[in-house]
Amino acid sequence: MLIGERRLKIIDLLQDKGNVVVSQLSSLLSVTEETIRRDLEGLEKEGLLKRTYGGAIPTNKISFELSFKAREIEHKEEKKAIGKVAAALIENGDALMFDASTTSLEVAKEIEVKKRLTVITSSLAVVLELIDKPEITVISTGGVFHSRSLSYIGPLAEKGVRNYYVDKMFLGAKGISIAGLTDSYEAEAQLKKAMIESAKETILVIDSSKFNKIALVNIAPLEVISRVITDSGISSRDRKLLIDQGIKVIVASN
């Protein structure tokens, strides 16, 4: 297990249990207790936990953004498979919008040579991915740069989004449930709402680990989505829930 994956697992356990113990983490993750202590020290420096005698407890910041690079590692193969399927839906001449999620980035990476594409995005990573492709016009929303998500946020970004109306918007979320779509960071959620309003069709690209999770901030109800592209880990119950809402479910195999 890579260091980023291991630390994400520690964060997940903190969110679920409210505390972690070094000896238990060492056994669960098959590494030495000294390695776990270094992990906890690194996460404490990021403000995501507070070390205690023999373990750690979460801080309020744990509910907010993990770094983009750390999130990019998580469920990497599933996200790549989702990206390939989603990119195949793009047609010549499409105007597209991408949020700053790591799964939306995988869609951008899989775009084959198309003619006359226009991409509007709040994601610096998506801009850098597409900027050298001459058949794609890339437009950044502008706004205040948020370093943890490598994205632009705030009123200027929302104003930039509302200047356009696109054919398809590729949306990621931290959680999906009967309550709708949720995110962990309010400014990102507000920008995603503006993007949904500026799109003819909203396509949710989300790995199956996000199902039945509810993050801090509401984005939108399920009814705003026309299609969900996910991986084979989706349960039959969750798939039926979406279909009953009139949402087409596409399962990507990796």
Q: Are residues 34 and 83 in the same domain?
A: no
pLDDT value at residue 64: 43
Whether the per-residue pLDDT at 65 is higher than 90: the answer is: no
* DSSP 3-state of 207: coil
pLDDT in tens, 97-106: 999 999 999 9
The pLDDT of residue 1 is 63
Instruction: Report the interhelical angle of 33-45 vs 3-17 (nearest 10°).
Output: 80
* Same-domain check for residues 111 and 174: yes
pLDDT tens track for 194-218: 999 999 999 999 999 899 888 878 8
Q: Does 211 lie in the same domain as 151?
A: yes
Query: Can you tell me whether residue 195 is helix, strand or coil?
Result: helix
pLDDT of residue 43: 83
Structural domains in the chain (count): 2
Nearest to 123 by CA among 167, 78, 68, 73: 68
Q: What confidence score (pLDDT) does residue 23 get?
A: 93
Q: Which pair of tokens denotes residue 239? A: 């798939």
55 and 105 within one domain: no
Stronger pLDDT, 71 or 216, i.e. the higher one? 216
Which contiguous run of DSSP H or E holds residue 191?
helix 186-197
Distance between CA 18 and CA 15 in Å, rounded? 6
User: Which helix (H) or strand (E) covers residue 169, if one does?
Assistant: strand 166-171
Answer yes or no: do 25 and 131 share one domain.
no
Q: Are residues 29 and 113 in the same domain?
A: no
Global confidence as pTM: 0.74
How many CA atoms, within 13 angstroms, populate the side-chain half-sphere of residue 9? 16
Domain identity same for 180 and 195: yes
Q: Is 79 exposed, middle or buried (0-12, 13-18, 19+ CB in 10 A)?
A: buried
With 0-12 / 13-18 / 19 or more C-beta atoms within 10 angstroms meaning exposed / middle / buried, residue 205 is buried
Both 42 and 167 in one domain: the answer is: no
| pLDDT exceeds cutoff 80 at 125 | yes
Using 50, 70 and 90 to split pLDDT, how confident is the model at 73?
low
Q: Tell me the residue range of the domain where 86 lies.
A: 70-252
Parallel, antiparallel, or unpaired: how do β-strands 199-205 and 55-58 relate? unpaired
Same domain (yes/no): 218, 247:
yes
Q: Which residues of 214-234 are buried (b: 16+ CB within 10 A; e: fewer)?
A: ebebbbbebebbbbbbbbeeb
Angle value at C-alpha 213, between 18 and 5, nearest 5 degrees: 65
Q: What is the CATH number of the domain that holds 112?
A: 3.40.50.10470
* pLDDT the model gives residue 62: 46
Q: What is the CATH number of the domain that holds 59?
A: 1.10.10.10
The beta strands (E) that lie in 26-116 are given as 49-52, 55-58, 95-98
**Residues 122-136, mean pLDDT to the nearest whole number:** 93
Same structural domain, 57 and 150: no
Q: How confident is the model at residue 117 (pLDDT cuts 50, 70, 90)?
A: very high
* 180, 210: one domain: yes
What's the pLDDT score for residue 61?
47
Residue 120 has pLDDT above 60, yes or no: yes
- What average pLDDT does the segment 177-191 reach? 89
Q: How far apart are CA 79 and CA 77, in angstroms?
A: 5
